[in-house]
Structures are given as C-alpha cells and as structure tokens.
Chain A
Amino acid sequence: MIENLKNGIKRITAIRYLKLSLLLFGLLLNTGALFAQNKTITGVVKDESGAAIPGVSVLVKGTSTGVATNVQGEFQLKVPGPETILTFSFIGTVSQDIRVGNKNSIDITLHLDVNKLEEVVVIGYGTVKKKDLTGAVSIVNTKDIQTRASQSVGSVLKGMASGVTVTTTGQPGAGSVVRIRGIGSLSNNEPLYVVDGLSLVGANNINPQDIESIQVLKDASAAAIYGARAANGVIIITTKKGKEGPLKVDFSANVSYNWLPKYNLMNADEYKKWDDVAYTNAIVSGVPGVTKLQNHYTNNTNWQDEIVKNTTIQNYNIALSGGTKTLNAYVSGNVMIDPGTVYGTDYKKYTFRVNTSGEKGIFSYGQNLYFTNEITNGMWGNPFSNMIAMPPTIPVYDETHPGGFGYGSPDRANTYAQNPIGGQNLQTNKNKGFFINGNIFGQVKLFDALSYKMNLLYVGYTGSTDYLRKIGNWTMGQGADKPYLSRSTRIQQKYDFENTLNFKKVIGKHDIDAMVGMIYEDDNIVDQSGTKLDPAITSNGEYLTSMNVASGLASAGTNFLEGVLISYISRLNYVYDNRYLLSATFRADGSSRLSPANRWAYFPSVALGWRISQEKFYNVKWMNELKLRASYGQLGNANIGYWDYLNFINTSPRAVFGNPAALALGSTVSKLSNTDLRWERKTQVDIGVDAAFLNNRLTFTADYFDSKTTDILTGMPLLLSTGSASGNYGPNTAIVANAASLENKGIELNLGWSDKIGEISYSAKLNYSKLTNKLTKLGFGRTEQYSNLAISKVGEPLAMFYLLKTDGLFQSDAEVQSYTNSKGQVIQPTAKPGDIRFVDTDDNGQINNNDRQVLGNPWPKFETGIQLSVAWRNFDILINGHGRFGFDIWNGSAQTAGFFANNNNNFKDFNPWSPTNTNTRTPHALYGDSRNSIGNMDYWLENGSFFRFDEIGFGYTLPANICNKIHFRNCRAGLTLQNIVTFSGYSGLDPDFADSGVFDKAQDGASYPNPRAILFNLTFGF
C-alpha cells in the first residue's frame, strides 16, 4: 500500500514536468506491465430486483487492475489465475469478494446496503443519515456532476434542485449567481459555500471535477449550525477523497466549440436609408438644430462580427487517488483555457488539489489543500450594447483619430456611441488571481461516545489588476486623456479556528448525537493601488507596462480591512426508535462589524420528524417510505462593511487658495452612518414530506416554507438633502441600515422515477418551485423605494416594474388634439403622428413621473428543472433542462437601438410607423427627440418565460472487454449540446441572465448571453 502511495506521489511530481498526455501514456505502460494476464472472466452484475447495475467496480483484489461494468452491468476482465479474488463494489451496496476458481463467468447480485436512505448527508460539523433528516436539503451527487461536464460549480447546480435558482453569464471567468429560495435580503443574497468545512463566498475557483457531492441546505433548521452566515442558505461541497485500495488514475478532457447568439442588425445601406428617414422626420417636425441629412461615412462595418468570435474552450483534468486506512490521498490537476467569445478577452484557470485523510487508533486526521490560478483579460464596457449603438457606417479603424479608431462625427455620424474595439484596445485590463485554500484537522475519540475535533482553516487570495490607458479616443467629443498605468493588488486572508466536541451514542432505542463548539474567524484584506501617468512608449508605439519608466505624476494608496466573528454553537440530533426525530440547534454569534452594544445575537432552531412508515400500524405496500418534517429556525446576517457603524472623517477634500494657487487640505464627515446597526434576522418555518413508492422507483419530496427577514441590513438611500455621500459617483446617499423586512413563501416539489424496461434503463427527475415575495417594511419610515425602472413598495413584491403605460401610436394630428384628460386638456400637445401615446394616469393633462404604474412583474410564477437519462447497452443519453415561467423582462437592447433618436443602429425587422405604414406598434423614426425611446415605458417589456435544455448529452462507454484489452478500468466518450435548444418568445439575446441588484430585477441591459456549445468529452481511468 505504501508502495502505491509512493508511486502516487512520484506521479504527482511528474505532473509538473510532463505534458499530461505524455504522463498518461507513461502510466498506462507502467500499470499494464504489473501483471501477466492469462485468463478472461466475463459476467453481469445485477441488483436485488434483477436490474443491471452499470458502473460497478470490479477489481482484482490487492491490485489496481480492474474494470467497471457497462450499462448492461456486464464486465470482462483478464485475471492472473484461479486464485484471484475479485472485489465487486458499488456505492450504496455491500461489497463482495468472489474467488475466481475455475469459473469463466461470474454473475452476481449486489445487495443494497440496508437501504438507499442510509445515504449520509453532510450537515455541517457532522453528518446525518438521509432517513433521519429533518430539514430541507437538496442533494446533487457525483454522477450528476461528472456527466454534466460543467465548467463551474454554479452551472453544476443549474436546474438540479428545487428552490435553487442559478443564472449564469457567458463572460469568461465570471461566476454564476445562485439564489436559494429567492431573495431573502436586500444587501447580500449569496449563499454560503462550505467546501470541506471551509466557508467561502462564491466557489468559482473550485474544480467541478473534484466534487464528490453537493448539498444545499435550504431551510433555517438545516442551515442553523452555520447561523450567522447562513441566512441565504448553505451549499456544502465535499470534494473527493482517496479510497482505500490501489492507486486509481482518472483523466478527462473536454473540448467545446462555443458561439454566441447574435442580433439581426442592419447593414450600412439599411442603416443609411432609415437614418435619412429619421432626419427627414426631424427636419419636418422642427427638431432644433437639425437642418440637413447626415453626410454618411461610406463604410459597412458589421460591429457584431468584429466583437463576437467563436471559440474553443479546452478543459483537462487528471486525478490520482488511493491509499490505506491510515493514509489515503486524492490529488488532481486541472487546466482550463477559454479564449473568450468577446474580442480582446480571455480566461485561463489552473487548479491543483491535494486531499488526504486517515485514521489510526483513536485518532483521525486529514487535510485538504487547493490552489487556483486565474488569469483574465477583462472586458471593457458593454460590447453587447455598443455593437447596437455603433452605426455600421463608422469604420473600425480611422487613422485620422488619436489612437486610430473610428467613431462618430457631427456631420457624418452624429453619435456618442463607443467603439468597442477601440475601447478594448486603448484600455487593457489584466487580472491575475491566486487562491490557496485549505484546512487541516485532527480528531480524537475519547471514551466511546465522545470525540474532540480541532480544525484549522485558511482561505487566501492574492490578486492583481494591471490597467493601461493608452493615448487615443473611442468616442466623439472625448478629451485628450493622459495615458497612465495603474496596478491594484489585494491580499485577502481568512483564518478559522474551530473546536468541536461531539457526543454520539445509541442507547437502546435512543440515538443521540450532540455537539458543542466554538469558532473564531478573522478575515482581513490589504488593498494597495498605484497609478502613474505617462508610460514610456517605444519608437514603434509599444507601451512599456512598468511604472519604473513612466514619467508622470504618481499616486498610491492602501486600505486595510479586518473583521472578526466569534461563534458558540451547539446541536442535538435525537432519534427515538427510528421513528421520531428531533434536531435542535442553538448558536451565539458576535461580529465586529456591528455597534458594540449590538454585537452579540442568539439564533435557536428546532426541527421534528416523524417516519410514519416505520410505525407498526403502517401497512401501505406501494409506499415504502413516508416521513413528515417540520422545522422552525432563526438565522442571522451581518455581512456588511467592516466599520459601517462609525462616522468617519473623510480627509480627501481639497481646495486651492491664493494666486498662484496652492493646495489646501480639508476634512469632514461626508457620509453619515447608522451608529446602532444590529443583526439582520431571518425566521423560517418549513414543513415537508418525503416519500418513496413502488419499490423506491418513485420518490417524492415536497416542502412548504414561510420565511420572514427582519432588520435587513442594506444600503438605504438617505434624503439627498442630507448632503451625505456614500460613494464617489452620482447622488448616491445609500448607507447601511436595518432598513427593511421581507417575507418569502414558497412550495418546492421534487419527483423522481427510475426503472428499467428490458435493456433500457431510464430515469426522470422533475423539480418545481414557486415563490412569492413581499416587502413588509422599509427603513426611515418609508413605504416605497424607487429605482430607475422599478418600485419596491411595502405590501408588494420587490422590484416591480414601474413604468409609463403606452397606448399605441397617434395616427393623425386630429388624434393628438382629441387625446385629452377629463378636463379637456390636450395631454400631448406637441406629439406628432407616429409618436407614442402615453396614458395620463393621474389625469392632470400631462405626461410625467406621476403617470408611472406597476406594469410588469419580474418574479417568475414558477421555475422548473428536469433531468432525463436513458441508457441502452453502451449508450446513454442525458438531458438537463430548466425554465422560468410567467415573468416580464425589460429589453434594454431594444431600448438601446431606440428609433434612430440618437443615430444608434437598429434591427433588420425595424418596421416604424409612417403615413403609409400605419399598422405597426413601432413609432416613427425621429432623430434628436427622445420621447419615443425613453427607458421607463412598458413598450420594452416582454414575456420572459423560457425553457432551455442546458444539456443534451450522448455517451458511449467502451465495453468492458475492449476496455480491459487496452488496460483501462473504464473509458467513455461523450458529446453534449449546451444551451442549443431554448423555447422563448423573448426577442433579446438570452432570457437567462443575471440581475444587477435586488431593486432591479429582470432588467436585461444587453447582458452577456450564455454561449451555445458543442462539447466533446473523453474520460478514462485505470
């Protein structure tokens, strides 16, 4: 065994020096040479019901030689001789050893390990058997993760669990947005990620191939043990461990061909035609300053083709695992190269992981450590909006402009649209991030029932962003900005120190599992930045990116951040006679981020379960399992700025006095603070049922929850007249306050079916979530909170679209004149035929902000996810889909196009009103007048409902005999179509995009769409 481990370690070292393919080839020969094989065994592995079990590991005991059964449960393996013992093992079943003897074929039946429900669920500082669960927990297992070929943790979860909403962006390296049971808070809705006990915000740097299982703790009682950080739910990720046994090597390669959906934009000829119409209309209606048509540039630029490119993403993964009881290891390396689907962007990620664990006597111990290195060339601005805004008549390059890029000109293309190619070239933005995350723990078993565990955790991030602003312009009327270099770095470290004491004992019918613990967490950040003007430029125009040789003014700054969280935790899980379940948690948390008087808070929770199917009176044959659950719990959140409760002196203000001018230093309180900030508290009730029918072929889970979040900590805008400034840009006066209360209620259903008909085995899983959301209180005594396009009103859902209502187009001057309010006042006296008619809601005879109404709902009526799988012989098909239904999207890309009001480009199907084309909802093309293309009207709302097949995958597993011949344990090739089939009436690029904030939901400001892809996948192991 030790030999194997040594081999493993040697091989790890080899990764650094050899290309993956070479290494694999080498290993292949190596393991192949271990045995002289002289006998072939075939066989079929089945379960108790007689159904074939694919994926069963068949190993020659004491060696690494082995295969996995195919979809029919068949295997074929060469063995040294009759004395060979084969070990058959499969998750959830009892392993069996069979001596080969004289047999040429071995058919065996594997027995379930008591029952599937014995599956263990990680619940934080401990585990619980699935059958004993009292909280709402969704589980995503290894198999789902492996076959999904996902590039990130977020996309693994997409559509897989009820109550879990995942929105992604196609932007390379950008994380997914995961929301558990909707929006519970106003400031921070990121769930807590706990990776092997390590709590993280976001888990984008985890390699999905390393994941063993994901558990989503949705209700308060399940998440209670994470109390102060768990208000948005907890995603527990367990990474793979080495299993006792000989070394296994697994390799997978994904190569995907990616492309983005595209707009159907006008070409230059079409653009010129309609732009001339818009100018002619402007001249006729007397728009000030417009006297003649544009003297168009003569180019024909397809901005979209310039910006968007098709790319091939490569993703390679190798994992080594194995070990003994006292020490086992899992080591993996991953490389991902994403050249970016947008001009000038790309993303590379390298991860490396070492997990070890073992036990000896009363001690057990372990360690997890992983490194991630990310390199991103960032995107400038929003190219998806700029590609619409830029007229196709403007050339990409124009030698006469500083910097050499084309842009608007008052006479030829009067637009302030930004040349995205120019912007991307003239401002380069390179980000490097290096993560080192890990923990080491030791556990000692004292007496029979008591164990003590100490766990030290470390999360480290070192990142840098290098920015270069070159000389040159990307838009009309831009000043002569000085070139400069800037570099900002961040060093972030978090230490956790956990002590837990566990008592676990079964006394007769009483099963007791109790735990107390103490956690100290310190996180600190050092930000550093420097800027220097006038970088050196070589004679051929290259910029030197070192500040050493820049000649201009330099400035630098640092910022130090630190926060401490101290928690005392306790939990009791009690089961009586396998029938009655109790789980109680109590937690005390102290956070340095709150006012001294309000730092400590206490969060209790309790959950009860009743396994009716275990009762003696229960006698329902077709229903194998029935459990009722009910829970009540409280969670906290203090995830705000480090010192938001203090009034600080801003020492930045300056003025000049004197002639010649000399600088004077100023100081003042420029931002007010709430000095009595307290914990945000979420109280949740969950009632659930778990059931299994027809020999566990049909499973069903249902949950109803009702959660109330009070004292929500969020940035709440003060009155502008306070003159308090929270940030640098715009009149943004929001400061952190215990500012609101929210209520979320919902239903979650999961239905699963799996069965086998002849040689075809298949399964289907369906999940459904429905959520309603209500704002119950706002801070500072307010009843409404407005954002640009939305209103959040007490008693109503958050972020409802609050817009002007349109009522078609004016067809004639007579219609304009006859459109009056109740007093006979003409409402839109300056309107022309072809203009939009707005509803004068308040009947005051004019259209203004008071005419806005709630006209759209950004909240889906329900969400659903579906997973289907079919296997026949060596072939398998996997289909994953998800959808959201019954909500509105504000289409910002259509608004960007406008109706030639700003000379922006438009779409080929542009069908504006004209005296001869009156049967349309599109107003007339009119340059220089914004009234028909304002953002806050319902014209831009569209039905956002969609259903998407995220993945349609086809796989072929090499038959065991062939596999064996080429010395592989297993080998599978797959082809997956990603995001190719979407059903939606939405006219923007993609109805599935991430929101920009809680007060602005379902507003598609020309978001980065999810790429379509064809992915080829090859995995094999030996």
Chain B
Amino acid sequence: MKSKILYLFAALMLFFITSCSDNLLNVPNPNALTDENFWKTPDDAEKGLVAVYNMLYRQGTWTRNNFTQLDGMADDAISYAGWTELAEWSRFIMTDYNFNEVNQKIWYQHYQGVFRANQVIKNVDQIVFKDAEQKKKVVAQAKFMRAFFHFYLYIYYGNIPYITEPSTVEAKPMQLTEDQVLTLCAQDFKDAANDLPETWQTNQLGRATKGAALAYLGKVYMQQHKWQDAKDALIWLVEGAGANNYQLVSNYRDNVTAYNEFNSEYVMEINFSEILKTGFDVDYDANSNLGTQFGMNNAPKGLGWNNVELSRWLVDYYLREKTTDGKNDVRLYYNCWYNNSKLDFPDMPEALIYGTTWESQSTAQAWGNRVFPRLYTEDLSKPSDLFYWDDINYRLIRYADVKLCYAEVLNELAGTPPPLAVQLVNDVRARVNLPALGSSTYTEYNSAISSKEAFREHLKIERGLELPFQGIRWMDLKRWGFDATNLAALKLRDPDFNNFIPGKSERMPIPQTDVDNNPNLKQNPNY
C-alpha cells in the first residue's frame, strides 16, 4: 500500500512539474531578426535602403518586364512572342487582368519597392545619426525611389494609389487621379533633389543623384505639360551648375554595352552585375541574381525567348539620312540586328550576336525582315554565350535624353524653336556625325526648325532614333497624346495600334485581384 501511494505521489509530481508551461511556449526563432530589434542604427537604415534598390533587380521591374512591356506597347517595338498572351499584352489585347507575368508582377513589385522605401523613411526618424548629412542622404534616396516606383506605375496605370506610409495588413489605399499622383511624385523628387549629392564616389555609383532627381522631376512635369516647371527642374542639368557633370560620350556604342558604364553621359543607370551567379531574382535568397535578362528576353527567335523585338520602321528611318561623311547612322548598327547590316555598314566589323551571323541562321529560323535588338547584348562583335543573366547596365536616363527633353520644353514655351533647343538636338545628332538640322541629306528634316509644331514633330522622330527600345518611348507617346493624327502615324509604324482604343488603351488594366479586394480602387476606364 505504501508503495502505491508513492507511485501516486510521483505521478502527481510529474504533473505539476511539467505544468509550469508558459515559459516553454516561448520558442525563439534563430533564423531571423524581428522588426523590433532592427531599425536601431544608421547601418540598419543603410541596409533598409539597399533593400529598396534591390527592387530594381526584379522580373516585374527592370530585370525583365519593364522593358518587355514599356517597349512592347510603344511603336518602336513589336512582339511575336511564342507566349501568345505576352505578345497580346504588347498589342493592347489585355484579356486576363490578372495576367501574372506582365500585369501582376509589374504592379506588385513596384509597390514592393514603395513598401521598402516607406519603411526607411518612417523608421529613420527613430534612429540617431552622428552624421546629419548621412541621414539626409538616406531619406533623400528613399524618397527618390518612392517617387521613382510610383512614377513608373503612373506610366502604366495612370490612376494609382500613392502610398507614403509602411503598409499594414488591413491597408486599402485610396486611388488618386493622374494629376494627384504626379503632384506627389514631383514633391518627392523635389525633396530628394535638395538633399542628394551631385555625384557619388566611384564605389557608390548607381545610387540616385541630384541630377537624376531633377531629370525625373522634369519628366514628371513634362507629362503634365507643365513646361515652365519642367524647365525649372531641368535647367540645372543643361544650363546650370549641373551641366559640368555631364557630357555626351563620343562613341554612341558606350551607351549600349558593358563598356564604359557610368560614363559622362549617365544620369540614372541600373548597376547590373553578375557578381552573384546562382539563384533567381527572388525575395528570400541572398544569392539572387543581380543581372539583367535583357539578352535572353529579347534574343532572336531560336536563340532566346524573343519576347520583344524592334519595329522595322526604325531601320528604314535610320537609312533615309546620311552622315556628314556619307555613311549610315551608326545608331542603326549598334541598336538593330537585321538582314542588311553587313551591306549598310561595309567598313564596320560584321554584326554578330551571341557568336552568330545573320546569314548563318536567318533562313533556317525564318527571320525575314525582322529586327532584333543588338543594344544591351554582351559583346557586339565577339562570340559570347547567351545566358539568362547579363551584367550590362541599363541606362534609365542619359544626358542625350535630358538634352532632347530640354529642347522639347523650350520649344513648348516659345513661339518658334529657340536656338538653344535646336542646338541641343544638333548636339545629339553631331555625336553620330549627322549634319545639323537644316542641312540634312533627308530634306524633310530641314523644315523641322521652321515652326514650333514642326520641331515637335521632328523631336518625336529624333527621340525615337536616339533612344529606341530603351524603355522611354511609351512615356513619350503618352505625353504627346493619342489624338487622331498621332494615332494614324502610330498605326503606320506599328500595326499593334490598330487595337488601340482611345480612352482605354492609354492605361493598362489594374490587376483584377486588387480591384476586387480594395473598395477604394476602381478599374481603369473602359476595362
């Protein structure tokens, strides 16, 4: 009997010992920091900022889909992608608003950048910086990136929420009008320009600069046709102190290859690198690739995915004008890979991409008179592998673009094209040995300086030839509008515009899941 009582006692003891249980339920996670022990030091703030820049390296941003879709919609590119739905989106046939590859990824990954920027801006307040300048620079860069991601969202979707607080699980952000969005973009770019450095040390290249902020600010105002504001923003770069920082490079090639990156012409450039060779561009892999997929995405049918290619009119337009020494425009040679390159540029090395000549494959691959991008391919003349990733920097804004923008702004502000505007255009032309406007071999260009309207029309072509397939054209087309005249011209150059419905196709449909699930968000008109 005694022993039985002992057992009972032992059993009950076990019971009570094990019941001191609340502590046992506190299991720490050894795999990650929590947000409670982050955002404490200036180093945390800098890391938060790097995470914002990280969003440039994503399929939904500049690794792939921004150029696929921005170029694809514009008239300088066309898609015969084997992925039919992808091709249809570049043709303004947008059926499934939740189309992940293009629509959801772009929307979501831009907002991912916004979320990360907002975390920096919000949390920096509680961090003590020894160096007040450092704090200013961190906030200025975060504001730049916040405006930057919103600005491209505006380019795609127009009426979007502009988010300035870190997201919460319940968030249902308000939709704004396009003007409201651009006003907020302008404010952030302005704030950023005030505190950003003019230049960074060599080992920090790729970060936003004052010039980049002002260039984007100018573009924001230009989209709103606020020409005077645009001039005030851009003047620093072209006529002010900033002008000393920038100069067109002598060889056009240096803008479209891995050679001479961050050259004197760069205003904003994405620093692509193959420093990490494993992993995809994902959220939770420290080895995620930091390269661009431009090569694979756009390589000719049979070599790569061939998701987008250049429109044929570019070749024809380049060829209608000769340089001062009677040759063809070298921009054609560097930007386009097409059937006659060998004949058109007899004194240049034969154009290769990925180690192959046009002749060797064009028949088998049925390329015909299609035009594939040579820009941003690894090496323009030597054999090289085509891989998923490449390290060629993407030039978001270069000085030639700024000069042409400034010329456009001055023209809009004046009755007739002012001399500076003409000079700026001629600067860009002179770099590739094209004669000044007025003495072109293509006589139609010579009337370009005769009137404000003619100059504007000429800029539409000049910009197309200087900046083809570089993620800029769609923004320009939106600025110039899609009235009947413009649309007729676009249809001639790009049959995709036959599907363009004014009042609808200027904006892409907002991903349906967000429209369904956010009562403060309406689908764009006519979708």
**B21 interface residue per 8 A CB criterion:** yes
Bound complex: CA A646 to CA B29 (Å): 10
State whether A648 touches B34 (Cβ < 8 A).
yes
Complex-state Cα separation, A410 to B273, whole angstroms = 31
Check if B278 is an interface residue, CB within 8 A of chain A: yes
- Return chain A residues, CB-CB under 8 Å to B391: 661
Mask for B280-323, Cβ within 8 A of A = 1, else 0?
10111111101000001001011111100000000000000000
Residue B11 is within 8 A (CB to CB) of chain A in the complex: yes
Task: State A121–B512 Cα separation when bound (angstroms).
Answer: 52
Given contacts A592-B26, A648-B29, A731-B107, contact A667 B48 (CB under 8 A): yes
Contact string against A for B residues 509-527, beta-carbon threshold 8 Å, 1 for contact and 0 otherwise? 0011110111001000001
- With A and B bound together, what is the CA distance between A718 and B172 in angstroms? 10
- Which among A57-65, A558-566, A970-978 touches the partner chain? A558-566
- Which residues of chain B are within 8 angstroms of A719 by Cβ–Cβ distance? 171-173, 513-514, 517-518
Least CB distance, B287 to chain A, in whole angstroms = 5
CB of A675, distance to nearest CB on chain B (Å)? 9
Q: How far is the CA of A289 from the CA of B495 in the complex (A)?
A: 12
Residues A452 and B11 in contact in the complex (CB < 8 Å), given A648-B34, A658-B206, A663-B276: yes
Bound-complex Cα distance A782 to B98 (A): 18
Given the known inter-chain contacts A531-B278, A729-B282, please indicate yes or no for A564 contacting B24, CB distance below 8 A.
yes
Is A447 an interface residue when CB atoms closer than 8 A count as contact?
Answer: yes
Q: Are A411 and B365 in contact (CB under 8 A)?
A: yes
Q: Write the B45-85 contact mask toward A (1 if CB under 8 angstroms, else 0).
A: 00111111110110010000000000000000010101111
Asked whether A786 and B8 contact (CB < 8 A) given A590-B25, A596-B26, A724-B115, the answer is no
- Do residues B95 and A934 form an inter-chain contact, with CB atoms below 8 A? yes
The residue in chain B whose Cβ has the minimal distance to the Cβ of A524 is: B27
Q: Considering the complex, give the chain A residue whose CB is closest to the CB of B305.
A: A477
A213 interface residue per 8 A CB criterion? no
Whether B51 pairs with A721 at a CB distance below 8 angstroms is no
Residues of B within 8 A of A563 (CB): 27
Question: Bound complex: CA of A159 vs CA of B521, how far in Å?
Answer: 48
Q: Mostly helix, strand, loop or mixed at chain B's interface?
A: loop
In the complex, per-residue mask of A819-831: 1 if CB is within 8 Å of any chain B CB, else 0: 0000000000000
Flag A110-130 by CB within 8 Å of B: 1 or 0 each: 000000000000000000000
* Chain B residues whose C-beta falls within 8 Å of the C-beta of A599 in the assembled complex: 22, 25
**Given known contacts A479-B304, A720-B107, A656 and B290 CB-to-CB distance under 8 angstroms:** yes
| Beta-carbon contacts under 8 Å, A925-945 to B | 928-931, 934, 936
Given A731-B104, A735-B169, also A666-B25 (CB < 8 A): no
Of residues B84, B169, B287, which shows the largest number of chain A Cβ atoms within 10 Å of its Cβ?
B169
Which residues from chain B contact A997 at a C-beta distance below 8 Å? none
- Say yes or no for A764: interface residue by CB 8 A criterion: no
Compute how far the CA of A725 lies from the CA of B273 in the bound complex, rounded to whole angstroms: 24
CB of A9 within 8 Å of the partner chain: no
Report chain A residues within 8 Å CB of B301: 410, 477
CB-CB under 8 A for A720 and B514, given A497-B18, A518-B18: yes
A998 in the interface (beta carbon within 8 A): no
Complex CA gap A728/B281 in Å reads: 8
Report whether A647 and B115 are in contact in the complex, using a CB–CB cutoff of 8 Å.
no
What's the minimum C-beta distance from B281 to chain A, rounded to whole angstroms?
9
Contact present for A667 and B51 (CB under 8 Å):
yes
- Alpha-carbon gap, A775 to B505, bound state (A): 37
B304 surroundings in chain A (CB, below 8 A): 477, 479
Shortest beta-carbon distance from B443 to chain A in Å: 34
**A residues within 8 A CB of B366?**
291-292, 410-411
A655 and B203 CA atoms in complex are apart in Å by: 13
Report the bound CA distance from A415 to B82 in whole Å.
7
B25 touches A566 (CB 8 A): yes
> Does B35 sit at the interface, judged by CB under 8 A?
yes
**B111 with A721: CB separation less than 8 A:** yes
Chain A residues within an 8 Å CB radius of B296? 479
Residues of B within 8 Å of A988, CB to CB, are: none
| Chain A residues numbered 548-593 whose CB sits less than 8 Å from any CB in chain B | 553, 555, 559-564, 566, 568, 590-592
A671 to B32, CA, bound (A): 12
A454 CB within 8 Å of chain B: yes
CB of A720 within 8 A of CB of B513, answer yes
B100 on the interface (CB 8 Å rule)? Answer: yes
A653 with B365: CB separation less than 8 A: no
Q: How far is the CB of A905 from chain B (nearest CB, A)?
A: 16
Q: In the docked arrangement, what's the CA distance between A782 and B516, Å?
A: 9
A541 within 8 A of B: no
Say yes or no: A672 contacts B4, CB within 8 Å.
no
Complex Cα spacing A415 to B171, Å: 43
Give the Cβ gap from A1007 to chain B, nearest Cβ, in Å.
22
Number of A-B contacts (CB under 8 A): 333
Whether B24 lies near A566 (C-beta < 8 A) is: yes
B484 interface residue (CB < 8 Å to A)? no
Q: How far is the CA of A735 from the CA of B167 in the complex (A)?
A: 14
Check if A288 is an interface residue, CB within 8 A of chain B: yes
Asked if B417 is an interface residue, CB under 8 A from chain A, the answer is: no
What residue in chain A is nearest B84 (Cβ atoms)?
A: A930
A723 touches B113 (CB 8 A): yes
CB <8 Å contact, A649 and B34: yes
Shortest CB distance B248–A (Å): 19
Indicate which residue in A411, A659, A668, A902 contacts B261 across the interface (CB closer than 8 Å).
A659
Whether the pair B280, A642 counts as a contact (CB closer than 8 A) is no
Distance (Å) between the CB of B232 and the closest chain A CB? Answer: 30
Determine if A654 and B512 form an interchain contact, defined as CB atoms under 8 angstroms apart: no
Contact B108 A731, beta carbon cutoff 8 Å? yes
**A482 proximity list for chain B (CB < 8 A):** 277
Report the bound CA distance from A736 to B287 in whole Å: 26
- Given the known inter-chain contacts A656-B206, A786-B516, please indicate yes or no for A666 contacting B47, CB distance below 8 A: yes
A901 at the interface (CB under 8 A from B): yes
Q: Which residues of A contact B98 (CB under 8 A)?
A: 786, 788, 849
Stretch at the interface among B189-197, B234-242, B380-388, B456-464: B380-388
Closest beta carbon of chain B to A221's beta carbon, Å: 25
Is B104's CB under 8 angstroms from A652's CB? no
Query: Does A670 reach chain B (CB closer than 8 Å)?
Result: yes
Render B454-495 as a binary contact track against A, CB cut-off 8 A, 1 for contact.
Answer: 000000000000000000000000000000000000000001
The answer to whether B275 touches A849, judged by C-beta atoms less than 8 angstroms apart, is no
Q: Are B207 and A659 in contact (CB under 8 A)?
A: no
Q: Which residue of A lies closest to B200 (CB)?
A: A657
Other-chain residue from A649, A722, A788, A930 in contact with B38 (beta carbon distance below 8 A) = A649
Do the beta carbons of B24 and A520 come within 8 Å of each other?
yes
Q: How far is the CA of A429 from the CA of B368 in the complex (A)?
A: 42
Residue A198 is within 8 A (CB to CB) of chain B in the complex: no
**Residues of chain B at the chain A interface (Cβ within 8 Å):** 4, 7-8, 11, 14-15, 18-19, 21-22, 24-27, 29-35, 38, 44, 47-54, 56-57, 60, 78, 80, 82-85, 87-88, 91, 95-98, 100, 104-105, 107-109, 111-116, 119, 161, 163, 166-173, 200-207, 261-262, 271-273, 275-278, 280, 282-288, 290, 296, 299, 301-306, 364-366, 368, 385-388, 391, 495, 511-514, 516-518, 521, 527
Given A664-B50, A722-B168; 10 other pairs, CB 8 A cutoff: A410-B366, A564-B24, A596-B25, A653-B51, A655-B271, A657-B205, A658-B205, A666-B52, A667-B48, A720-B104
> Could you tell me which A residues sit within 8 Å of B by CB distance?
288-289, 291-292, 362, 409-411, 414-416, 444, 446-447, 450, 452, 454, 476-477, 479-482, 484, 497, 499, 501, 518, 520, 531, 533, 553, 555, 559-564, 566, 568, 590-592, 596, 599, 642-643, 646-659, 661-674, 717-725, 727-731, 733, 735, 737, 780, 782, 784, 786, 788, 847-849, 901-902, 928-931, 934, 936
CB-defined A-B contacts under 8 Å, sample of 29: A288-B91, A291-B366, A362-B4, A476-B302, A477-B303, A499-B15, A592-B25, A596-B25, A649-B35, A651-B286, A656-B271, A657-B53, A659-B271, A661-B391, A666-B47, A666-B52, A667-B51, A719-B171, A719-B514, A720-B104, A720-B108, A721-B111, A723-B111, A723-B113, A723-B114, A731-B100, A731-B104, A733-B108, A902-B84
Task: Enumerate the 4 nearest inter-chain pairs by beta-carbon distance, A residue then B residue, closest first.
Answer: A723-B115, A666-B50, A668-B51, A728-B282
